[in-house]
Amino acid sequence: MDVKGISPIIGSNCATQKTNFKKSWYGVSDTFDKKRTEEKKPFKTKVKEFFQKTKNYFAIGLASIVSALAVFTTMKIKNNKLKEECEKIQQQLENVVLPEKFKDNVKEKIEILNRTELSYSPTTRIDIEDHTWGKVKQKPEFVISGKNEKTTIRNDAQQLKYPNFETGEAYSFEFPISSEIKVSHDHREITPQERTITTVSESYADSLVWNNDKIARDLMQNFYDGHGQTLDGVKFDVEPTPDGKYRVKIQGKSTYSPDKAILLGESSKKNDDKAAGNYGEGLKMVVLKLLREKGADEVNIASDNWNVNWKFEDSGFDKKVLSYQLDEIPQINGNYIEFNTDNVDFIKSIINSFDKFYHYNNPSFKCPDFENNIVGINLKDEKEKGKFYIAGQAFELDGDYDGLNGMDIYIKKKPPISHDGNFIFDPSRDRTSLTRDNLEALGAWVMSKDNMPKEEAVKLLHAVEEYWDVGTTRAMFKHKTKGTSFIYGLIKGAYNRGDLHIQFPEKYVADSYRVSVSLANMYVNAGYKICSSYFDLIGMESIDELVTETRKHKPLEPTQAEKNKILILKEAIQLLAPVLRENNMFEEDELNTKIFIYDRKGSNEDEAYDDVSGEAIIDKKKSLGFWLDRETMKEGSFSSLLSTSLHELTHKFGGDSSEIFSYKLTDVMEKVFEAINNNPNLAIQLKVLEQAWDAQK
């Protein structure tokens, strides 16, 4: 295992490290991929020639060595092969033909070790420069602690039970009246108008592809806005007619002038950022759709002292067009729309649209986890479906009104079309489905300084705490679900503000792609939660900083036996130096390495390190040495510790999960295996070191 200042990369554990291949997070260039492809085939030939050349040398162990080389050629990233590497080196050494004076050589080596001192202080730790990337720690202004509790807002709401609509039967439902209704009245004296032919042709309805749900939603939207952005108090009635159709009547309590029912583009809602409507198009398009597609002969819209009757008339151009007639009627206290239809599915869609709008008893809005004057979020079981509301009206998410998993989200006012250069919201009549990118941009807008005071921004972050954790897969957090796209936007928006300085709970750390998946997993297994990297600049400790701190092992004073083992490993590396220097793989001072001993289970060590037997010290892509665990030094064999040492040295090239590290480690081990087999004297020298290792107690 290795540590690279504030840019650490996981190394290995000979016995326990098990890391599956994943594409390197550090990236592999096209040139590198091409080189690997070109070198793969020649090396197979090289193995074959090597086998033929050496088939009579070390006959017992040779077949397994060549087989190992073939495995290394074809494997991808197999950092969990370190144990096998240990065994292969051990097998090679067991097949060495020993000279007559071998025991004398071992005795002499032990004597030399006992009187040789290390050329560096084994108790003086190498401290890597703290690469904080210009980050300046701010004193926390807010503290997040404990579990966020749901609010008690609308805690007395009762989920409404809408009657089932039965074919051929009457239907009636009225929303309970609440104190939230804001009824408006607009009384004007009117001048009746005889039947007037418009220029809107029947076929204009085809310009907008609306299914039953969208027509129903725009139909109910006018009553929602008329009651101050709630359906409370709205009444819906259906009566069968003798001709097999149904007479549908929807009533509200507000009054308004007839121009709103006649003129396209005329709306009282355009400047109301809390109104669901915008341009006055929806009602007119609903009329057109009812007449064109839903079997209506006429549509009556009435309020106060007037009634507008819509129907198709011949235009004189062999085309039917919309026409209307405005009549004065006895004054009514409210408004309604009335039409006939033979489309049962459309009637059901109207009923199903009731919870696509805010009303006091809508369960989406009961006891949310957070709510203020701009946004609310209501978390629930992750298997439950939820809705995304803008200005109290549900929007489709990729074609699905119930497109959220485990939450309901509602934004209380219409957002701008764009924010910080990102498109957010289409307010036009088309009512296009929102995408994950829209939700992310909406989240960032909601969390902006203009919308969210600092205190409330912190409360909102606390409310979504269960979604902070992004795990270690490094899959894009915003693409996990649609709901988490919005939360990702909230977190990103909190980061963009630049004014939040928060103390977060223990064991939450901000992610960093400078830390390998393997190292991140090590901390996850120790109980840490890895959160979005955006948390880094709003006060959360980053995993970089955590590793920088916890990697500061306490160097132990080696015993005589441990000092001798360090010298043995250093000498073994020097014996292999000629092949390790090839192609400028390692520099001379890297091979003259420094080895430090620490106790991975000691009281001074972080719990995340309790199963890590080796850790590289890397700075600016250069190996400065490595740490070895005291127990591993005591119990491990020479071949296992040599393999671990080579593994840690090679971490200068990348982490266990990176392809380039696997490639370089494969290359290192191939060179070592080949050097041992091609050089009997080298094999004997390593065998001497092995015996000297075993003699240390």
Angle, helices 659-678/680-694, rounded to nearest 10 degrees: 100
Where is average pLDDT lowest: 132-146, 154-168, 525-539?
Answer: 132-146
Residue type, 18: K
Which residue is listed with tokens 């197979």? 44
Among 231-245, 418-432, 609-623, 679-693, the range of highest mean pLDDT:
231-245
Residue 91: band (very low, low, confident or very high) from pLDDT cuts 50, 70, 90? confident
pLDDT reading at 1 higher than 80: no
Q: pLDDT exceeding 70 applies to what percent of the chain? A: 80
**pLDDT tens-digit map of 235-274:** 999 999 999 999 999 999 999 999 988 887 545 545 555 5
pLDDT, tens digit, 9 for 90 and up, residues 449-487: 999 999 999 999 999 999 998 876 554 443 457 788 999
What architecture does CATH give domain 171-356? 2-Layer Sandwich (3.30)
**Among residues of the chain, what percentage have pLDDT more than 90?**
54
pLDDT of residue 608: 64
Two structure tokens written together for 133: 């990337």
Which runs of consecutive H residues, i.e. helices, occur in 464-559?
482-497, 517-525, 543-550
pLDDT at 166: 94
Range(s) for CATH 3.30.565 in the chain?
171-356
Residue 185 CA to residue 687 CA, distance in Å, equals 99
pLDDT band at 153 (very low <50, low <70, confident <90, very high): very high
Does residue 24 contact residue 654 with C-beta atoms inside 8 Å? yes
Examine the pLDDT at 376 and tell me if it is beyond 90. yes
Least confident of 131-145, 286-300, 513-527: 131-145
Query: Is residue 433 predicted with pLDDT exceeding 90?
Result: no
Q: How far apart are CA 431 and CA 299, in angstroms?
A: 23
* Residue carrying structure tokens 């071949």: 639
Q: Give the strand pairing for 246-252 and 502-503.
A: unpaired
Query: pLDDT for 531-544, tens place per residue?
Result: 988 898 899 998 88
Q: Are strands 385-386 and 335-341 parallel, antiparallel or unpaired?
A: unpaired
Q: Is pLDDT larger for residue 575 or for residue 97?
A: 575
User: What pLDDT is attached to residue 274?
Assistant: 53
Q: How much is the average pLDDT of 653-680?
A: 86
Q: Highest-confidence range of 39-48, 264-273, 325-334, 510-519, by mean pLDDT? A: 325-334
Range with lowest mean pLDDT among 56-65, 350-359, 534-543, 634-643: 56-65
183 Cβ contact list (under 8 Å, min separation 6) = 226, 227, 228, 233, 253, 254
Nearest alpha-carbon partner for 155 in 360, 335, 301: 360
Burial degree of 139 (CB within 10 A; 0-12, 13-18, 19+): exposed
